Amino acid sequence: MEPRSDIPPVEDLLDRLHVVALPMRVRFRGVTVRELALFDGPAGWGEFGAFTEYGPAEASQWLLSAIEAAFSAPPVAARDQIPVNATVPAVEPHRVPEVLARFPGARTAKVKVAEPGQTLADDVARVEAVRAVVPRVRVDANGGWSVDEAVVAAGALGELEYLEQPCATVEELALLRRRISTPIAADESIRKAADPFRVVALGAADVAVVKVAPLGGVGPLLVIAARIGIPVVVSSALDSAVGMSRGLLAAGCLPELPYACGLGTGGLFVEDVVEAVAPVDGFLPVGPVVPDPARLTALAAPADRRQWWIDRVRACHAVLSE
């Protein structure tokens, strides 16, 4: 079988590979250390950071995104700065001010809710603590509620910009949307779906949350954004500064940007591959990122974890080459 012409040989990727382990300030998505593979390519730096539980088929899209960044010339952005929301993990209310302090000037906050082991009362307390500091609040349930639970939660949480992925399936989102007035945003129902446009066809969402890496790159994201027919929010997948730069580029290329984007999660890391850039008046700049060699060395993953990522790159590359 002839290899795909747009996919470099796997050995070329591995020759450019850096695997880093970034310590986090708080547990997010169940992790306290974020491992990522970075590639130093002829067009720039690419990031492959599919979460470890993803198999080769799903993770291969993340590798495709890294290849796009490292080997293809970027599109030209229409704006040079992007409004970003603060991101609040499922922390106790007394920790909320500490988290929000890392997002200076943010006028919108996304709050994690429906965390396993926590209750709706925990979610309400966290949201109220955020609302005391930031006026505009959206919440993300990662599909953790049933329709009935989401109806109750929407009433208990008060006025929200939107509920992000309150239920797991598109059908549930469509049913919920007919029962509540709070806008609904779809995330997993777009980036994990065989048909990302089904949420619109079924009237299941008011907002589309899109992420560069799971969709295969900036190019595919912009195609979906142009066709989906509802407002788009570009968000991160717990990216390093390298991956975040691609999200900011994608947001910068959109013709309209009605919502703050979820691209400020760099504040969740204790250390990153470059010196942290804090938002200014709630905005982050659009531009390429080149990792600091000293940080790449200091943050390098242990040898066994590097080998794990090498094996994973090979497995995902095989999927892309089929």
> What are the catalytic residues?
112, 211
Q: Which of 223, 225, 220 is nearest to 208 (CA)?
A: 225
Is 187 labelled a binding residue?
Answer: yes
Can you list the alpha helix ranges (DSSP code H) found in 113-258?
120-131, 147-157, 170-177, 188-191, 198-201, 218-228, 241-253
Is 311 labelled a binding residue?
Answer: no
Is 122 labelled a binding residue?
Answer: no
| Phi, psi torsion values for 40, nearest 5 degrees | -95, 100
What is the DSSP secondary structure assignment for residue 161, as one 8-state letter? S
Q: Which of 230, 225, 226, 198 is nearest to 212 (CA)?
A: 225
Q: Which of 292, 213, 199, 209 is nearest to 246 (CA)?
A: 213
CA distances from 147 to 89, 123, 175, 208, 242 (A): 23, 17, 7, 19, 37
Q: Which residues are annotated as a binding site for Mg(2+)?
A: 140, 164, 187
Q: Which residues are annotated as a binding site?
A: 140, 164, 187
